Amino acid sequence: MTLSRLLSRVGFVSRVGSRSAFTSSKTDTRSPNWLRVGLAFGSSAFLWGLLFKQHSTDVHEYKVRNGLQ
Amino acid sequence: MGSAADDKKSLPPPGILNRNSVWLAGIGWASAMIHNAINHRPPVKSGVHRQFLLTTIGWFLGYHLTKHENYTYAKLDRDMNEYVKLHPEKFQPKEKKTFAEIVEPFHPVR
């Protein structure tokens, strides 16, 4: 079974658990919330940048300490 | 010995691709997909920004977890080796005997 199929079955189990008590209308799934999408991708890009910067700092620090550079 | 921060920096840093990163990124991705599934959305095709963000967070945490793990194990190894050096009497190499010396002579009964 494909991963998609397997995961879709999860929806059947918790039909009760995820209904919001605050709205009576279905969420609009057609138009994306572009602000949220932008923020998500933006923070992902930020985290990746932070990771690569931290890694290069660590590598440089290690080389300096062991006299390789 | 130096401070802890000093010691941490003298270890070789882990690569960007490391076991903890991959595993935690996988957990992030799976949690995004399960979140989709619970809300009756197509699990893999929807919310790609969510999947990507959670995967990224997992990868980031994994990198720092690997650094912490390396430091912990290096510290344990160093302490163990120092103990062995300080107490050589407890770690004498044992005299090795060959099997020929231990085993009784063989008399076949045919």
pLDDT in tens, B12-22: 999 999 999 99
Tell whether the torsion through CA atoms of B39, B41, B47 and B50 is positive or negative.
positive
* Residue B33: closest CA among A6, A27, A35: A6
Which chain A residues are closer than 8 Å to B38 by Cβ? Answer: 10-11, 14, 17-18
pLDDT of A48 reads 97
**Which residue in this structure is represented by tokens 């231990």?**
B102
| Contact assessment for residue B4 and residue B38, using Cβ atoms and an 8 Å cutoff | no
- pLDDT over 90, % of chain A: 43
pLDDT of A8 reads 75
Q: Does B56 touch chain A (CB under 8 A)?
A: yes
What single DSSP character describes residue B12?
P
Q: Where are the domains of chain A?
A: 3-66
pLDDT of B6 reads 79
Which residue does chain B place closest to A14, by CA atoms? B38
Which residue does chain B place closest to A36, by CA atoms? B49
Cβ of A54 within 8 Å of Cβ of B33? The answer is: no
Cα gap B27→B7, rounded to integer Å: 31
- Asked if pLDDT for residue B24 goes beyond 90, the answer is yes
* Residue B51: closest CA among B71, B27, B77: B27
pLDDT of A12 reads 61
| Contact assessment for residue A9 and residue B49, using Cβ atoms and an 8 Å cutoff | no
- Asked if pLDDT for residue B86 goes beyond 80, the answer is yes
| Contact assessment for residue B63 and residue A51, using Cβ atoms and an 8 Å cutoff | yes
Cα gap B41→A6, rounded to integer Å: 13
Least confident of A8-17, A50-59, B15-24, B91-100: A8-17
pLDDT of A11 reads 60
Q: Which amino acid is it at B64?
A: H
Chains A & B: contacts with CB separation below 8 Å:
75
